[in-house]
Chains A and B, each alone.
Chain A
Amino acid sequence: MNSQKKQEIRDFTLSVLTEDKAGLINQLTIVFTKRKININSLNVSNSEVAGVSRFTIVTRTSRDMIDKIVKQIRKLIDVLGAFVYEDDQIFYQEIALYKVPTKAFINGNSVENLVRNSGARILVVEEEHIIIEKTGHSKETHDLYQKLEPFGLLEFIRSGRVAVSKSIRKTEAYIKGLEASNSNKLSIKDF
């Protein structure tokens, strides 16, 4: 990679496997705050291996910096592995919820069409409001946000990114590998 490409600011998705222990989120965010780098989204969940959590962190920075950050994260004692991805190396989604007044549906069916055409769905219909759900990339959920805004959108919320890599390696095999080897985590390149 040439040095200009290494400096270019863009989105990176980090997938971090950790032991399921208190305080890890702090340890991870310290790596970012120490360098004054913003985390754009952060999602924590169980992984498919018992006792192992997965953090998915999205941040905007350079390749140079993200490589340094990943090494610092790997250095944390309770981190089992940390992997960086660019958007084309993963499948990723975010989920957005929109609350619109029910009366917006009464005046004709434009909202209904909009929902259908955007690949969204109606989650709940209440007397006062309707909740719409859409899964997609942030650009798509943002587009729907802009379209719903004229109808008196009451509330909008979007989750952090969740992502799976296009690699076919298994988390469980990776953890087993760690348990078996004495080697350096760095040699396990991508995942």
Chain B
Amino acid sequence: MNTSTLTLAKNKTDNSKKIKGSEAVLKCLIAEGVETIFGYPGGAIMPIYDSLYHYQNKLNHILTRHEQGAVHAAQGMARVTRKTGVCFATSGPGATNLITGIADAQIDSTPLVCITGQVPSHLLGTDAFQETDVIGISMPVTKWNYQVTRAEEIPFAIARAFYIANTGRPGPVLIDITKDAQITEFDFEYDKCEKIRSYHPYPELRSGDLKAAANLINKSKKPYILLGQGVQLSGAEKELIQFAEKTGIPMASTLMGLSGVPVDHPLYVGYLGMHGNYGANIKTNECDVLIAIGMRFDDRVTGDLKKYAKQAKVIHIEIDPSEIDKNVKTTIAINADAKQALTGLIPLVNSARYAEWIEEFRVCDVIEHNKVIDAETHPVSGQIKMAEVISKISALTFGEAVVVTDVGQHQMVANRYYQFQNSLSCITSGGLGTMGFALPAAMGAKVGQPSRDVIAIIGDGGFQMTIQELGTIKQNDLAVKILVLNNNFLGMVRQWQQLFFDKRYSFTELDNPDFQLITKGYGISAQKVSERINLDQAIHDWLSCEGPALLEVVVDQEENVFPMVPSGASVSDIRLD
């Protein structure tokens, strides 16, 4: 050892101070810029909660009513801020209750650090009280996980966790900390992680790929941009608009990509996938060059892959190499961050206009308006329709709210009709389709963006999956606006039963409780509307409430969402009725 390393080592010990593992966890979080933790205590994580008692002025902890609520809230917060969401849970059932949210975050690329308590290390493998192999269970659904059994490992593990969770393609990380590691004292020192030799999250952009892509684009007659969540994850919204405006190429969005581009942008042609727009879907099979940006060709977007964009040359801009050529074979792969790739591509592409090609989309729009949209958004008789409720809310909020949707018909309708104007505004469980996501995620979104309007749109089925989070909303006075679109059915499943199972409504009808009464029981204001003539006033009153408020709208029971690409069909076979 030479003298300089000797002094370095000496300085290190001088600066450090013996603290318990549990306190170290909190110091690490503060060092990572964490402000809010969503969590739920229990035996194996009690030392951390005890340390938290002394850190209440530095860290905001929100006690949810279920660990699933905590993880979805952390997701909601992460999605509206691009920061890493953090949640705590105890061992055993606490940890297993996180799994759905972790799986959701994994498939929707949401950065999370989940910290679970674990039984003391000498009891590992003994089937001790509340022992679960959460490392084993979470392995397939985390980007990385790690079990800490010694206090000294805490800074290393947490520093890595934050680095891994929110670099490259983001994802959830789980750190499991045994109780003995939480109570042992050690010399604390924290260094942020900046490099892991086995992990290279930002692929090098290759100029050859950019040139080849630009060549293809410059020669194309009917180019078409498909944008995914990657655009928002990489903060490439401006670059995308610049690229599209220079090249004049029309663009459509996946569900997860929604709000990446303002819906009223002249080049925006709609939403892709099973319940997306008519033109946006069928034109995928008519374009000559497909430019996919930060999206992964999910089966809900592509339908039958054998009949998907076969005529087109495909340029795929994607940060995760394992997504390239996974579902759709690319002509040119640009394995890079979307923002970096677009920045490199803009100077290489020619200015162009595709008036006739874009006109084809507009013709489809007219068809979709005539067959679906007008009747859905402006019905004159019959029961209230989901689409008219969403359209009214969209108009009243100028498309500027954060819209957090649950899973089902209301999700598809909300995302079809809400006129998103701002980025990071469409928060939904896209990949996993997790019912129960919206209420807790909306609560997290409100914590992350307190000055924005946050609206949770939920079905009567999904509402009852995480309804207990009304308690969290009340206790923390989170001004979330909750819309329950009540059709007394598990609507989306009922729709499939009607269309594909000869109307055998097998266990999809719900005998619902009084949602107003329940919500009021939690101390949150609530109202219900079932007549069209009262709808405007009800929406207005609800949105003008100061704090959290629920609006239950009784909607048409057997309404179906169209257009629809039946599962396994080609996008060209999209049905309008």
Q: Hey, which bits of chain A sit against chain B, CB under 8 A? A: 18-19, 23, 26-27, 30, 34, 67-68, 71-72, 74-75, 77-80, 175, 178-179, 181-187
Decide if A80 touches B143 in the complex (CB within 8 Å): no
A80 CA / B135 CA spacing, docked (Å): 21
Selected contact of A182 from candidates B144, B200, B322, B335, CB within 8 Å = B200
Decide if B136 touches A26 in the complex (CB within 8 Å): yes
> With A26-B136, A184-B335, A187-B204 as given contacts, are A178 and B325 in contact (CB-CB < 8 Å)?
no
Task: Give every chain A residue within 8 A of B135 (Cβ-Cβ).
Answer: 23
A-B contact pairs, 12 of them (CB 8 A): A23-B139, A26-B139, A30-B139, A68-B322, A77-B196, A80-B197, A80-B198, A175-B197, A178-B200, A179-B197, A187-B204, A187-B206
> What distance in Å separates the Cβ of A77 from its nearest Cβ neighbour in chain B?
4
Task: Give every chain A residue within 8 A of B140 (Cβ-Cβ).
Answer: 30, 34
Task: Give every chain A residue within 8 A of B203 (Cβ-Cβ).
Answer: 183-184, 186-187
Task: Give every chain A residue within 8 A of B321 (Cβ-Cβ).
Answer: 71, 74-75, 184-186
Task: Give every chain A residue within 8 A of B454 (Cβ-Cβ).
Answer: none
> With A30-B140, A184-B203, A184-B335 as given contacts, are A71 and B322 in contact (CB-CB < 8 Å)?
yes
Known: A27-B139, A71-B324, A183-B203. 18 other contacts (CB 8 A): A19-B198, A26-B136, A26-B139, A30-B139, A34-B140, A68-B326, A71-B322, A75-B320, A77-B198, A78-B144, A78-B198, A80-B197, A179-B197, A183-B200, A183-B204, A184-B200, A184-B204, A184-B321
A151 CA / B143 CA spacing, docked (Å): 53
A128 CA / B1 CA spacing, docked (Å): 59
Task: Give every chain B residue within 8 A of A72 (Cβ-Cβ).
Answer: 322
Task: Give every chain A residue within 8 A of B325 (Cβ-Cβ).
Answer: 67-68
Q: Hey, which bits of chain B sit against chain A, CB under 8 A? A: 135-136, 139-140, 143-144, 164, 196-200, 202-204, 206, 320-322, 324-326, 335
Decide if B198 touches A186 in the complex (CB within 8 Å): no
Q: Which residue of B lies closest to A19 (CB)?
A: B198
Task: Give every chain B residue within 8 A of A183 (Cβ-Cβ).
Answer: 200, 203-204
> What distance in Å separates the Cβ of B555 from its nearest Cβ neighbour in chain A?
39
> What distance in Å separates the Cβ of B77 from its nearest Cβ neighbour in chain A?
24
Task: Give every chain B residue within 8 A of A184 (Cβ-Cβ).
Answer: 200, 202-204, 321, 335
Decide if B200 touches A185 in the complex (CB within 8 Å): yes
Q: Which residue of A lies closest to B320 (CB)?
A: A75
A71 CA / B200 CA spacing, docked (Å): 13
Decide if B198 touches A178 in the complex (CB within 8 Å): yes
A47 CA / B538 CA spacing, docked (Å): 69
Q: Which residue of B lies closest to A27 (CB)?
A: B139
Task: Give every chain B residue within 8 A of A185 (Cβ-Cβ).
Answer: 200, 321
A75 CA / B204 CA spacing, docked (Å): 16
A79 CA / B136 CA spacing, docked (Å): 18
A79 CA / B321 CA spacing, docked (Å): 15
> What distance in Å separates the Cβ of B18 from its nearest Cβ neighbour in chain A?
28
A80 CA / B324 CA spacing, docked (Å): 20
Task: Give every chain B residue within 8 A of A181 (Cβ-Cβ).
Answer: 200
> What distance in Å separates the Cβ of B432 from its nearest Cβ neighbour in chain A?
15
A18 CA / B197 CA spacing, docked (Å): 11
> With A75-B320, A77-B164 as given contacts, are A182 and B139 in contact (CB-CB < 8 Å)?
no
Q: Which residue of A lies closest to B324 (CB)?
A: A71
Quick one: which of B164, B197, B198 has the most chain A CB within 10 A?
B198
Q: Which residue of A lies closest to B199 (CB)?
A: A77
A34 CA / B107 CA spacing, docked (Å): 14
A187 CA / B200 CA spacing, docked (Å): 11
A26 CA / B409 CA spacing, docked (Å): 38
> What distance in Å separates the Cβ of A24 from its nearest Cβ neighbour in chain B?
10
Q: Which residue of B lies closest to A181 (CB)?
A: B200
Decide if A75 touches B322 in the complex (CB within 8 Å): yes
Decide if A79 touches B335 in the complex (CB within 8 Å): no
Task: Give every chain A residue within 8 A of B164 (Cβ-Cβ).
Answer: 77
Decide if A79 touches B198 in the complex (CB within 8 Å): yes
A69 CA / B114 CA spacing, docked (Å): 27
A186 CA / B323 CA spacing, docked (Å): 13
A74 CA / B204 CA spacing, docked (Å): 16
Quick one: which of A27, A68, A75, A181 has the most chain B CB within 10 A?
A75
Q: Which residue of B lies closest to A71 (CB)?
A: B322
> What distance in Å separates the Cβ of A186 from its nearest Cβ neighbour in chain B?
5
Task: Give every chain B residue within 8 A of A19 (Cβ-Cβ).
Answer: 198
> What distance in Å separates the Cβ of A16 from its nearest Cβ neighbour in chain B?
11
Task: Give every chain A residue within 8 A of B326 (Cβ-Cβ).
Answer: 68, 71
A178 CA / B199 CA spacing, docked (Å): 9
Quick one: which of B140, B321, B324, B326 has the most chain A CB within 10 A?
B321
Task: Give every chain B residue within 8 A of A187 (Cβ-Cβ).
Answer: 203-204, 206
A178 CA / B196 CA spacing, docked (Å): 9
A23 CA / B324 CA spacing, docked (Å): 27
A179 CA / B140 CA spacing, docked (Å): 27
A18 CA / B204 CA spacing, docked (Å): 22
Task: Give every chain B residue within 8 A of A175 (Cβ-Cβ).
Answer: 197
Complex A-B, nearest 3 residue pairs according to Cβ-Cβ distance, in ascending order: A184-B203, A71-B322, A183-B204
A77 CA / B325 CA spacing, docked (Å): 21
Task: Give every chain B residue within 8 A of A27 (Cβ-Cβ).
Answer: 139
Task: Give every chain A residue within 8 A of B199 (Cβ-Cβ).
Answer: 77
> What distance in Å separates the Cβ of B39 from its nearest Cβ neighbour in chain A?
25
Task: Give every chain B residue within 8 A of A68 (Cβ-Cβ).
Answer: 322, 325-326
A26 CA / B139 CA spacing, docked (Å): 8
A181 CA / B143 CA spacing, docked (Å): 22
Q: Which residue of B lies closest to A18 (CB)?
A: B198
A76 CA / B135 CA spacing, docked (Å): 15
Selected contact of B144 from candidates A67, A77, A178, CB within 8 Å = A77
A187 CA / B208 CA spacing, docked (Å): 13
> What distance in Å separates the Cβ of B193 from its nearest Cβ neighbour in chain A?
11
Task: Give every chain A residue within 8 A of B206 (Cβ-Cβ).
Answer: 187
> What distance in Å separates the Cβ of A37 from its nearest Cβ neighbour in chain B?
15
> What distance in Å separates the Cβ of A171 from its nearest Cβ neighbour in chain B?
13
A57 CA / B335 CA spacing, docked (Å): 27
> What distance in Å separates the Cβ of A65 from its nearest Cβ neighbour in chain B?
11
A187 CA / B139 CA spacing, docked (Å): 27
A39 CA / B198 CA spacing, docked (Å): 24
Q: Which residue of A lies closest to B136 (CB)?
A: A26
Task: Give every chain B residue within 8 A of A30 (Cβ-Cβ).
Answer: 139-140
Quick one: which of B135, B140, B164, B324 has the most chain A CB within 10 A?
B140
